[in-house]
């Protein structure tokens, strides 16, 4: 059996119908706010929470990183400002 080739408006109508059907199939039903929060609660139960010891260790690592980065940025700022002052012979 030979396929028929649609042309012009027939083709356009068929494509529009396919798009509408796909959009309708992909549309999800709305959930109630209560169901939304129940879903959040069930997802939070699946989370693996760190122990107190791990939390303290991770917090210390983050604080150390912040201190190191602050020192590095401060040194760059001091060096650039000293360079600009020397270039333009400005007094601090």
Q: Is residue 17 part of a domain?
A: no
| Residue 73 forms part of a structural domain | yes
Number of domains making up the chain: 1
pLDDT of residue 19: 83
Size of the chain in residues? 92
Burial 56-82 (b: 16+ CB within 10 A, else e): eeeeeeeeeeeeeeeeeeeeeeeeeee
What's the first-to-final CA gap in the chain, in angstroms? 90
Q: Is residue 27 part of a domain?
A: no
Is residue 8 included in any domain, yes or no? no
Residue 72 lies in a domain: yes
pLDDT category of residue 90 using cuts at 50, 70 and 90: low
Could you list the residue range(s) of the whole structural domain that residue 82 is in? 51-87
pLDDT recorded at residue 78? 96
pLDDT in tens, 11-61: 788 888 888 877 777 666 677 889 889 999 999 999 999 999 999 999 999
| 25 in any annotated domain | no
84 has pLDDT over 70: yes
Q: Is 26 within 8 Å of 34 (Cβ atoms)?
A: no
Give domain status of residue 74, yes or no: yes
């Amino acid at each position: 059996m030979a396929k028929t080739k649609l042309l012009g408006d027939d083709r356009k109508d068929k494509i529009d119908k396919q798009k509408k059907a796909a959009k309708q199939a992909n549309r999800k039903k709305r959930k109630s706010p209560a169901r939304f929060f129940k879903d959040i609660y069930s997802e939070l139960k699946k989370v693996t929470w760190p122990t107190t010891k791990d939390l303290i260790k991770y917090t210390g690592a983050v604080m150390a990183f912040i201190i190191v980065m602050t020192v590095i940025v401060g040194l760059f700022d001091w060096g650039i400002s000293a360079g600009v002052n020397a270039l333009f012979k400005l007094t601090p």
